Amino acid sequence: MKTFITIALLVLSSHYTFSEDEDSFPKTDLNQDGYAIATPDVKLVFPRDHGSHPDFKTEWWYITGHLESPGQDHRYGFQITFFRSSLKPTTNEQIYMAHAALIDKATGRFAHEERLNSDQWNAAAKVGALDLYNGNWFLRMLDPDTEEMATRFSLSEIGSFNLNLKPEKPKTLFGDRGYSKKGDAFGAASHYITFTRLAVSGTAQINGETVPLSGHAWMDHEFSSSQLSEEQIGWNWTSLILDDGSELMAYVMRRNDGEVDPNSRLTLIAADGMKSEYTGDSFSWEPIRHWTSPQTSGRYPVEYRVSWVSNRNVKRSLIVRPSADDQELRGKIGDFVYWEGAGQAFDEAGKPIGLAYTELTGYTESLYGKF
């Protein structure tokens, strides 16, 4: 939910349903600051809604995934995220941030970088189609019919990555047809679009060497004007790409009283694309092991158990373990700190059953007011 974020800048207009041939996103309700908010009666239309929605305060396109070279000499977890934040609801002034991160699964080496630009300088996100860039990092849709995408990013410590992303399953609209309620406050919701299983192929330039890479990735696209209610401080989020062809997404909205918000949700996507959703106390996220950052003192539940009762009344659970403990992103441009890390999913017997990515926010400060 995936993930997150604006660094010094973040937070989403009447009720319409509409036909597939409309070009513009419909006007919806406004919040007190004049930004559009997510409402449940809006029908998302594609490829239009893969693009930017500048009437909303905050938007992100969030890709996390796992890569390896043919001989598995290189095995990585990666993140590339593009953020858009509106500066004023009465103008079209936008700020664009981007985060890239890489974990070497063999050595545990973790690197991350960030960029901050404006629509007046070296960054943009197109309305009506997926086509965005921040400097020479980009994400664009190559074919609106197949929804295949391409992205480029780089890390000065490691090298550059050019990747193609091809959906292996249809996109998923989380919540009620893409309306994802996160809290009880007015407007505490987002429009939430996800590709749960992307086949990744491409190359990296590392130490002057061209390295072919392949793997799988997950992509979240969310836009909103406020995802948190006042009593919420942050969230735990996980995406799992499982070996049996299914996927799992879960987020736990954490409150300042230590309780889990009932608007938390777990979603299972079966191999055939069927979606099952669980809310409130019908699932649990149980920390198993914590890691404390020596830089920020944030204490993160990096290993955890997710449990739920299936529709057939069978209790299910799995465990997620990180590829390395220190996958904390500590921004230099802004003051936002969070943990975003690659890992692996295991069944209760300890058998590996899939790939994992985890996002943990609000462990160094409350995020209320930033989203």
Pick out the chain residues at pLDDT < 70: 1-22, 227, 334-335, 368-371
The answer to whether 251 touches 236, Cβ cutoff 8 Å, is: yes
63/68 Cα distance (integer angstroms): 16
Interacting residues of 47 by C-beta distance below 8 A, sequence separation 6+: 128, 129, 130, 141, 144, 147
Confidence at residue 22, expressed as pLDDT on a 0 to 100 scale: 59
154 Cα distance to chain centroid: 19
Query: How many Cα atoms occupy the beta-carbon half-sphere of 206 within 13 Å?
Result: 15
Interacting residues of 259 by C-beta distance below 8 A, sequence separation 6+: none
The DSSP bridge partners found for residue 234 are 254
The DSSP bridge partners found for residue 176 are 179
Mean of pLDDT over the chain: 90
Instruction: Please give the model's pTM, rounded to 2 decimal places.
Output: 0.91
The answer to whether 45 touches 22, Cβ cutoff 8 Å, is: yes
Confidence at residue 91, expressed as pLDDT on a 0 to 100 scale: 82
Measured CA to CA in angstroms, residue 72 lies from 37, 243, 298, 315, 323 at distances of: 45, 18, 33, 36, 15
Strand, coil or helix: what is 281? helix
12/57 Cα distance (integer angstroms): 4
Measured CA to CA in angstroms, residue 361 lies from 44, 202, 300 at distances of: 28, 30, 9
254/251 Cα distance (integer angstroms): 9
Instruction: Specify the amino acid at residue 338.
Output: Y
Closest by CA position to 39, among listed 23, 20, 22, 18: 18
Instruction: Specify the amino acid at residue 15.
Output: H
Class of domain 48-360: mainly beta
Tokens representing 354 are: 């899939």
